[in-house]
Amino acid sequence: MITDSRMKISLILPALLLLLGTAAHAEDANSDSVKIKPKQAASAARAERSARDGGIPVDTDVIDTPTTAVLDNYGYSARSRFYSRGGILQYLSFGVYPGINLGASAAVDGLVGDQRSVRMRQPTAQVKWRFYEGDNEMPSFAVGFDGQGYSYNAGDRRFNQRQRGFYVVASKELGVPGLQLHPSFNVSDFDTNGVFGALPLTINIRDKVAILIEWDNINNWSDSRLNAGLRAYLTPNFNVDFAVRAIAAGGFYSDGGPRGPERIVQLKYSNSF
């Protein structure tokens, strides 16, 4: 158990050190010159603009993993995921207070297509608090809880791919405009206290499309998942994701469901009251 924990930490720690190293480098580079924080802050503000301000919707998630971004106060979003065997997963999220989002989600298996059995799974909740905004040197930080899992196993009465549970996430631009890293830790099951990690990377290209890459569920090699996709910003309020989850994964779960790969499509609409 101790060896496993050390391995998990060793996988994510380099990403956090990279963020802090980038911060230290930026601080040293600015020590002998005039800082241009107002200009850089304006650039960061543009990246975080909401649909209400005429910018693209904030990317609160990559594919499965969170970022530190949150909806504005009085903001809301609806996200629909179409997944394997005709399933639909629906999310609703609200900006209830500056820096705090609350949401709920529910999945319906077999709703689309010719599946004989259509079953709704138990709804669950999400919460995120962005407690540190970040600056030119330090990444932004957020904590949250996400109770939504994937691929429900009726025999075991739980999801084959467990919920994220409690998590801590950091987001930081890596010196290139639009290139951001979002490493995180999470504990999905407090009975076992297993620590998991994720290393997501996003590349925003002129606010038109974004490349999404994430290594998720890092606990051991066989259970980790590599996901990749493309996000198209069709309007200031609406974007579409095309993604493949669990790339190159093989084998089956105890209920016979495949471990991957899985193709999904996500539609997201964001606005404010």
Cβ distance 50 to 270 under 8 Å?
Answer: yes
Greater pLDDT, 210 or 30 = 210
Q: Answer yes or no: is pLDDT of 37 > 70.
A: no
Residue whose token pair is 């290393």: 199
pLDDT score recorded for residue 20: 45
Is residue 40 predicted with pLDDT exceeding 50?
no
Provide mean pLDDT across the span 224-234: 97
What are the Cα distances from residue 9, in Å, to 69, 132, 148, 199, 218?
Answer: 24, 22, 24, 12, 10
Are the beta carbons of 26 and 40 closer than 8 angstroms?
Answer: no
Peptide bond into 261 cis (omega under 30): yes
What is the arithmetic mean of pLDDT over 234-245?
96
Share of the chain above pLDDT 90, in %: 66
Q: Report pLDDT digits (tens) over 179-199.
A: 999 999 999 988 877 899 999
pLDDT at residue 33 greater than cutoff 80: no
Euclidean distance between CA atoms 56 and 46, whole angstroms: 9
- Is 173 a residue whose pLDDT tops 60? yes
Higher pLDDT, 21 or 273: 273
Mean pLDDT of 44-54: 42
Over the chain, what is the mean pLDDT? 84
pLDDT at 219 over 80: yes
Residue at token pair 């609806």: 78
How many Cα atoms occupy the beta-carbon half-sphere of 38 within 13 Å? 1
- What pTM, to 2 d.p., does this model score? 0.80
- What is the pLDDT averaged over residues 242-258? 92
Q: According to the model, what pLDDT value does residue 26 have?
A: 43
Q: Is the pLDDT confidence value at 47 over 70?
A: no
**Which of 131, 207, 144, 202 has its CA nearest to residue 173?**
202
Dist. CA 21–CA 247, nearest whole Å: 31
- What is the mean predicted confidence (pLDDT) over 120-133? 96
For the cut 50, the answer to whether the pLDDT of residue 51 exceeds it is no
DSSP assignment letter at 57:
P
Predicted local distance difference test score (pLDDT) of residue 55: 63
The per-residue DSSP string of 58-88 comes to: P--BSSSSB-S--PPTTEEEEEEEEEGGGEE
pLDDT given at position 15: 52
pLDDT at 12: 52
Stretch 115-129: mean pLDDT, rounded? 94
Cα 95 to chain centroid, rounded: 17
Using the predicted structure, report yes or no on whether residue 13 has a pLDDT greater than 80. Answer: no
Lowest mean pLDDT among 33-37, 158-162, 169-173, 262-266: 33-37
Tokens of 269: 């609409």
Q: Which domains does the chain have, with CATH numbers?
A: 2-32+59-272 (2.40.160.40)
Q: Which helix (H) or strand (E) holds 27?
A: helix 2-30
